[in-house]
Amino acid sequence: MARQERAVRTRNALIESAAELFDRDGFETASLSTISARAGVSNGALHFHFASKAALAAAVCEAAAQRLGRITGEGGEQEQADGALQILIDASHALLRGFSHDVVLRAGFDLGDSPESTGAGEDLHRRWQGWVEAVFAQADREGTLADDVSAQDAALAVVAAVAGFEALGGQDPQWLSPASLTRFWGLLLPRLAEESVLDRLVASGTAAEAG
Amino acid sequence: MARQERAVRTRNALIESAAELFDRDGFETASLSTISARAGVSNGALHFHFASKAALAAAVCEAAAQRLGRITGEGGEQEQADGALQILIDASHALLRGFSHDVVLRAGFDLGDSPESTGAGEDLHRRWQGWVEAVFAQADREGTLADDVSAQDAALAVVAAVAGFEALGGQDPQWLSPASLTRFWGLLLPRLAEESVLDRLVASGTAAEAG
């Protein structure tokens, strides 16, 4: 293995290991020596890649932000076909799937919540919220949002509910199941979607096996 | 002050202090000596009242459960007048008010989420969820829930959203503001409420200054 490739692997292993320990023990409690041991590298190697625990947290947030970017970008090519609301439904399913099996994504979102790690990275909840607001504004422009619904109120409800599924899912994985989110969309869509597009929307997502 | 009264005050001060430190530092990190110092009592006094940190956590949960009981029981006498949906709206506002200013309530809910404190007390999220489900079932029976809405799906959406307001509010207090929750209810009620009762429902709550 070339030296550079080995360095990238080590760095990624450290990010993964840090995410696991931040997720399990919290940023404050997780120790650098446990993180390096779990990644199978020496303390020296950790310090070669990351100057501090905060730098490691920033790298976890950056990796999580990339994954969120893929989730919110996933619908790019289907935009014309399905419209903004379906793109949002699909992304919300992909995000909850991520929360249930991708510890880097989960830890990245949680690090933004932790006062001790402030400044470690951008607040991913806020980034997700900005994207949801933009998608509802797009639905409004394309005429698929119901006339009497404000795009901002719709975004507020969806962002709150998804954050709730995430928070409750930490205790009871049932909340992160696709079935729970599908029931939420099944309830909300008749309120949000313009009547003529409602029948075309798939509350369970159109890409349930992807992502 | 009588000895018994003093003992009750000391116990309550310890519960309040423990809730503050569990909330700020987490159950695992909070130390008994910091808790007793903040309550202005000796370590000996703490150990007289509570055998362990877990016992203190259990007392915080019990105190929070009592407060939740008052919130969900608040609507008792107005039940006939306003119907189940208004009682739920009012209780959700009281709960978010509690999350923003009552550290015992907030810490009690969070302790149920913390794996380290498992068994410290009942899971208050679950208790709140059970109550929300019962209220929607009541709305269904009294005919104020829209015909095509399932009481269980409605409960799922409301429980998820309230948990999301709580989780996001830890970062940005705006999420715990009455205005945010009012916008959520304003969006959701036309979907949930039977048409003839919709005009009577107050999304901002009927007891905004109480509780």
Cβ A161–B165 below 8 Å, yes or no?
A: no
**Interface residue B184 vs chain A (CB under 8 A):** yes
CATH number at residue A50: 1.10.10.60
Residue B87 lies inside a defined structural domain of this protein: yes
Residue of A nearest to B158 (CA): A161
pLDDT higher than threshold 70 for residue B113: no
Domain count, chain B: 2
3-state secondary structure of A23: helix
Q: Which residues of chain A have pLDDT under 70?
A: 1, 74-81, 113-122, 208-211
CATH number at residue A136: 1.10.357.10
Residue A205 lies inside a defined structural domain of this protein: no
Q: Which of B156, B181, B195 to mutate to test the interface with A (most CBs of A within 10 A)?
A: B156
Cβ A160–B187 below 8 Å, yes or no?
A: no
Contacts of B152 in chain A (CB under 8 A): 183
B9 and B25 assigned to the same domain: yes
Which backbone phi and psi does B63 adopt, to 5 degrees?
-65, -40
CB atoms inside a 10 Å sphere around CB A48:
14
Domain hosting A19: range is: 3-58
B31 and B90 assigned to the same domain: no
What pLDDT does residue B25 have? 86
Contacts of A191 in chain B (CB under 8 A): 187-188, 190-191
Residue of A nearest to B146 (CA): A187
Contacts of A204 in chain B (CB under 8 A): none
pLDDT band at residue B122, thresholds of 50, 70 and 90?
low
A12 and A44 assigned to the same domain: yes
A69 and A54 assigned to the same domain: no
Residue A208 lies inside a defined structural domain of this protein: no
Shortest CB distance from B187 goes to which of A28, A153, A180? A153
Of the candidates A58, A84, A102, which is a domain's last residue? A58
Distance between CA atoms of residues A194 and A188, nearest Å: 12
B30 and B69 assigned to the same domain: no
**Interface residue B116 vs chain A (CB under 8 A):** no
- Mean pLDDT for the stretch of residues B170-186: 94
B177 conformational bin, left if phi > 0, alpha if psi -120 to 50, beta if neither? beta
B150 and B106 assigned to the same domain: yes
Longest distance between any two alpha carbons in chain B, whole Å = 61
A47 and A76 assigned to the same domain: no
3-state secondary structure of A189: helix
Residue of A nearest to B155 (CA): A184
B129 and B76 assigned to the same domain: yes
Residue A210 lies inside a defined structural domain of this protein: no
Cβ A163–B162 below 8 Å, yes or no?
A: no
CB atoms inside a 10 Å sphere around CB B58:
18
Of the candidates A58, A76, A96, which is a domain's last residue? A58
Cβ A149–B187 below 8 Å, yes or no?
A: yes
B76 and B125 assigned to the same domain: yes
Residue B207 lies inside a defined structural domain of this protein: no
Residue B210 lies inside a defined structural domain of this protein: no
Q: Which of B148, B187, B188 to mutate to test the interface with A (most CBs of A within 10 A)?
A: B187
pLDDT higher than threshold 50 for residue B210: no
Residue A176 lies inside a defined structural domain of this protein: yes
B70 and B138 assigned to the same domain: yes
3-state secondary structure of B198: helix
pLDDT band at residue B135, thresholds of 50, 70 and 90?
very high
**Interface residue A160 vs chain B (CB under 8 A):** yes
Of the candidates B58, B87, B102, which is a domain's last residue? B58
What pLDDT does residue B211 have? 41
Cβ A187–B183 below 8 Å, yes or no?
A: no
**Interface residue B112 vs chain A (CB under 8 A):** yes
Cβ–Cβ < 8 Å for B71, B91: yes
- Mean pLDDT for the stretch of residues B64-73: 94
CA distance A200 to chain B (A): 19
A106 and A189 assigned to the same domain: yes
Shortest CB distance from A171 goes to which of B112, B170, B184? B112
Reduced 3-state DSSP string for A144-163: CECCCCCHHHHHHHHHHHHH
Contacts of B186 in chain A (CB under 8 A): 153
Residue B206 lies inside a defined structural domain of this protein: no
Cβ B183–A153 below 8 Å, yes or no?
A: yes
Sign of CA pseudo-dihedral A176, A180, A185, A187: negative
Cβ A187–B159 below 8 Å, yes or no?
A: no
What pLDDT does residue A170 have? 86
Residue labelled with tokens 């079932």: B137
Contacts of A29 in chain B (CB under 8 A): 26, 28-29
Cβ–Cβ < 8 Å for A56, A12: no
Taking the CA atoms of residue B173, residue A187, residue A131 and residue A77 in that order, the dihedral angle to the nearest 10 degrees is: 170
- In the structure encoding, which two tokens stand for residue A117, read together? 């790690």
Cβ B153–A28 below 8 Å, yes or no?
A: no
Beta bridge partners of A168: none
Cβ–Cβ < 8 Å for A57, A22: yes
Shortest CB distance from A160 goes to which of B112, B125, B184? B184
- Mean pLDDT for the stretch of residues B126-139: 96
Residue labelled with tokens 């209780």: B91
A170 and A102 assigned to the same domain: yes
Residue labelled with tokens 């003992």: B7
Helix/strand/coil percent split, chain B, to 5: 75, 0, 25
Distance between CA atoms of residues B91 and B85, nearest Å: 10
Q: Of B43-47, B72-76, B133-137, which range is least confident? A: B72-76
Which backbone phi and psi does A193 adopt, to 5 degrees?
-90, 140
